[in-house]
Structure 1
């Protein structure tokens, strides 16, 4: 079995049978493979390091041919949104390398894909193109090819209009889902002598919000229940499922004998709710009389306990699979962690710590360092500091719910 570290990806890139190029986000050629150079009739020094429009401009004598400008627009869109764009068949001509001013009519089927860096932002643009000029030529005379191009252009415009209407519909759904989520995630009420701060941040640039939630409940016996959860899915449907599960867990916390029993009840309820499968949640019950936190987790990232001396413990001794993940219901584990007055309990969803292509331990290490750095601040200030320290510069790539509770 070949280890990934032993694969020569540069050799793989150069051996690809399709023409492939890598661009910077400024549309400068970073690299091209041999198939690209062969297709374009260029040497590497005439392409790599040059802007797209400099290396392959449109024919200035034929303003009707705008293929290269369309390619530029597609690449800029991919760089801005981080989404893949499979372009429709279109024409852009290529100047003969040995005949300046003479252009060859060419037809292409390109695909542009974002390549993300470690920080989750678009670092490079991967451009793959298939030269289908011969296919077009075999269909007959130039007027037939022109008619085909016109038909394809019309269909592309229709698809573009459909996509725009879908984006508008998704944007409206996002607004409704956000309003619903804000209504179901109010600011916490009085929690006896405890101070708490809560935050919810939707993913930046996403058309859909997700089903992240938090809850804080005063229990009849003087204890406090604190929970966060994350529904799989997006949009209005996920927000509705979130509301059902949040209410069910809040009710279960009032009557259950501990956090594990409350999550068991929620697991049974989730099996009857469409879209609730694989939801993660964690519930902490705080007892001030015998200072301890009883907790249970259904596949959720562990709560963080910041001690007055600045050390941080992650409550990870009672973790079970997400809701509905097991074929049959079974009891859930529960663990306890003592605390001293002045400690801080932090619950959160995975948007706070997880990054693409990064182990979760790296995110937990960042969280612990930030908590220690801001240990002397009040919950409101600490919540803002955590978001500032841990959110990516371009904004969160996933929804994030956060609860900070001073014990």
Structure 2
């Protein structure tokens, strides 16, 4: 639906329950029909008037604190910019038709900010849940008011818990947005590597915080027609994992440009990981591809093996140079390195465990699924091949771990 076609005034008036809009000065800016009806105040008795002139505390009852508590809640929202769900409040509301007569009411308010273009609170949404009749039904009109309030506390606490869960969900969603933006800024863009085609993909995990542990990199190497291709995975999720990921990716990228081979690059990275908080047990695999010699030299630090699909469809997992994860040993030792040859038209795939690992499933099942997909689509260009692999291997609703994938046509 086109946004301009929505009559938001009609939507506001049709909202179920009592909803009002207040200015930062706590003056009524608008009130929906339910608010007018249930509060017993006509629109002209509300709009433009100060909230506590319309609903003052009962001057005949010094124990009446509902309006004072509401005032404190609204000030908290204005100061902190966060939603505030109040506990059940007893209010004495003056009968507009009979001045001086006060009716005992029970309202459960939620106050929330509406921000303007400058980022400041421009309006307050004041939503009130009327529970007077519920309390009367539970406690009887002649029962002790304190007992009736206690009767309704379970109801109120359940609603407060729902509101708290919503606030936590929104907070996690905000952190996820920031983490994804940081991940995007740190990861290199898709690129042509020399005269050879490469495709890269990153898919965040489903859920609010399950994001930002995986990374990938492609670098031009000094000397000859060579590139370095690497992927890695940081333990943990969220902003902290994103920061660690960025540090490790940058360190390996720099080390690869000056190292004699991938094993030496991982040696340097392992020493660096030792002084980076949060890098414990991170994994990585890096490959040095020499297009002139038609060779791939590789080394792995606890990471799933790269998959090489030869031009004839034969599959080879590069698992002959696997070592423990980064910073796994108190005294680092030189990592192993292996070399494999290929012919033109082969395809190399590097990936993170989110692509192949599933709960209650052996890892070999996921690796076989990957190999089968790569073989069936091996004649496609790298971009189409990457899309096909993700479509076939990732669950329809998304994986519970983030996923990085690099496809290089050799």
TM-score (norm 1): 0.63
Find the residue that maps to 1:210 and give its secondary structure.
Answer: coil
Any conservation in 1 of the 2:382–2:408 contact (CA below 8 Å)?
Answer: yes
Structure-1 residue corresponding to 2:359: 356
- 2:193 paired with 1:196: no
For 1:297-308, what aligned pairs fall within 5 Å after superposition? 297-308=300-311
Shift of 1:166: 1.6
Count of matched residue positions in the alignment of Structure 1 and Structure 2 = 267
- Within the alignment, does 1:401 sit opposite 2:398 as a pair? no
CA distance in 1, matches of 2:147, 2:270: 60
Describe the shift of the 1:157–1:194 C-alpha distance in structure 2 as closer, same or farther (beyond 3 A). same
CA distance in 2, matches of 1:156, 1:259: 57
* Displacement of 1:257: 1.0
Q: Distance in 2 between matches of 1:150 and 1:260?
A: 67
Q: How do 1:69-80 and structure 2 match up within 5 A?
A: none
Cα–Cα, structure 1 residues 362 and 148, in superposed 2: closer, same or farther, change >3 Å? farther
8 Å Cα contact 2:297-2:340 kept in structure 1: yes
- 1:155 is matched with which residue? 157
Q: Is the 8 A contact 2:191 2:198 kept in 1?
A: no
Distance 1:244 1:198 in 2: 20
Point out where structure 2 has 5 or more consecutive residues left out of the alignment. Answer: 1-144
Which protein shows a greater Rg?
2
Moved more, 326-335 or 191-200: 326-335
Aligned counterparts of 2:252 and 2:290: Cα–Cα separation in 1: 18
2:336 to 333, 337, 346: 333
Pick one of 201, 210, 213 that aligns with 1:211.
213
Give RMSD over aligned pairs.
Answer: 2.0
Q: Which secondary structure does the structure 1 equivalent of 2:287 belong to?
A: strand
Where do residues 1-400 of structure 1 align in structure 2 (5 Å cutoff)?
A: 150-222=152-224, 223-400=226-403
TM-score (norm 2): 0.62
For the residue of structure 2 that corresponds to 1:238, the secondary structure is helix
On the 8 A contact 1:210/1:234 being kept in 2, the answer is yes
- Whether the aligned pair in 2 keeps the contact of 1:173 and 1:208 (CA below 8 Å) is no
Deviation at 1:206, TM superposition (A): 3.9
Question: How far apart, CA to CA, are the structure 2 residues paired with 1:146 and 1:231?
Answer: 54
Provide the rounded CA distance (Å) in 1 between the counterparts of 2:210 and 2:263: 32
**2: distance between equivalents of 1:371 and 1:305?**
9
Structure 1 residues 183 and 145, CA, compared in 2 at 3 Å: closer, same or farther? same
1:289-347 Cα deviation digits (max 9, x unpaired): 32211111111110000100011100001111111122221211111111111111000
| Mapped partners of 1:360, 1:315: distance in 2 | 15
CA deviations 1:244-302 (Å, max 9, x no partner) are 11000000001111001100110111111111111111000011232211111111110
Alpha carbons of structure 1 residues 149 and 261: separation in structure 2 relative to 1, 3 Å: farther
Distance change >3 Å, CA 376–CA 190, structure 1 → 2: closer
State the alpha-carbon separation in 2 of the partners of residues 265 and 148 from structure 1. 64
Equivalent residue number for residue 91 of structure 1 = none
The SS at the match of 2:325 is coil
Tell me the SS of whatever aligns to 2:192. Answer: coil
For residues 280 and 157 of structure 1, the distance between their equivalents in structure 2, rounded to whole angstroms, comes to: 44
Q: Is the 8 A contact 1:188 1:216 kept in 2?
A: no
